[in-house]
Amino acid sequence: MIPKIIYEDKDLAVIDKPAGLPVHAANKNSDTETVVSFLISRYPGIGKVGENAERPGIVHRLDKETSGIMVVAKNNETFYELKRQFQQRKVEKKYIALACGIFQKESGFIDTPLQKFGPKTRLASRLSDTTKAKNAYTEYKVVKFYNGYTLLEIRPKTGRQHQIRVHLASINHPIACDKLYGRKALKCPAGLNRHFLHATYLRFRLKSALMEFESELPPDLSEALKSLD
């Protein structure tokens, strides 16, 4: 299980991460195959890039079961420039998600603050201590309706842990097959073994050049949609 290289130059690499592959190991003694282990084997010099030796070159992450596009820095100049753009919300990101239930509105915006709570992220309004809450913004648009599901294009404006998953669950439309946040509303198309979330688009500028990348739905998600038609 290795990522596909979509694009690379001397400053960065853009990869298509498969579902099931974690970005980095849970601890430094782990021998689990990860995006980081793949990067170090392919680009040995990347080990000194960034602020954390366990996450070299990583400027943003995807959940283990989320597939799709990631950009990775090959040098510190690029690392800090991309990090700045992500922090200032200058990077445009799009995801495709299959949500449980039928949406009543064609588009919407969720702006509920989130707070990390152990391995999960929760709505800050549901915690007694909200001092560590962070603003989170998620825009969505309906792409297609299925029997009991809605296919969405998601544009997160911030990058909080599990943001899309928590925000959709907060409006009672959790992502299909999301065992962590689905609760009583959890549903899953036949044959799908992970949550239906794919990072499909990434757009940013680097050294005055506009960089734009897309990734099609992987076979397991495409087959899940066919099963619902």
- How many C-beta atoms lie closer than 10 Å to residue 98's C-beta? 28
Active-site residues, by number, are 63
CA 105 to chain CA centroid, Å, is 24
127 CB-contact burial (10 Å; exposed 0-12 / middle 13-18 / buried 19+): middle
Radius of gyration of the chain (CA): 18
Name residue 110's amino acid. I
Q: Characterize the bridge pairing of strands 149-156 and 92-100.
A: antiparallel
What six digits make up the tokens of 218?
């992987």
